[in-house]
Amino acid sequence: MVGRFFFYRGLVRKGYRIMNQPTLSLRVNPANPDHHLYVNNGTWWCHFTLHLPDHTKARRRVSLRTRDQHLARHRRDALLRGEVPA
């Protein structure tokens, strides 16, 4: 398997996930330190998918407002941990 698949903030009950709030779904490739990052015109962005309570999904792209790759990784990690609002 190339990456790992994670669900955050979902409630599990009898094998079913009860979705009363958005759930962040991440597939992480440990060999790629820039997962969920891309650069557009020199500015780093983070992209991810939210699974919503109405069983739809929303793709989010958030500018990390930096041209520095190391700072972009740090801001991405903080964003995906929920420390910074999307």
Does residue 9 belong to any structural domain of this protein? yes
Quick: pLDDT tens for 18-71.
Answer: 567 788 777 888 899 999 999 999 999 999 988 888 889 989 999 999 999 999
Count of CA atoms in the C-beta half-sphere (13 A) of 56: 3
Domain count of the fold of the chain: 1
- The pLDDT value recorded for residue 51 is 86
Query: Residue 46 domain-assigned?
Result: yes
b/e per residue 45-72 (b: at least 16 CB within 10 A):
bbebebbeeeeeeeeeebebeeeeeeeb
In a domain, 86, yes or no: no
Note down the domain range covering 47: 4-80
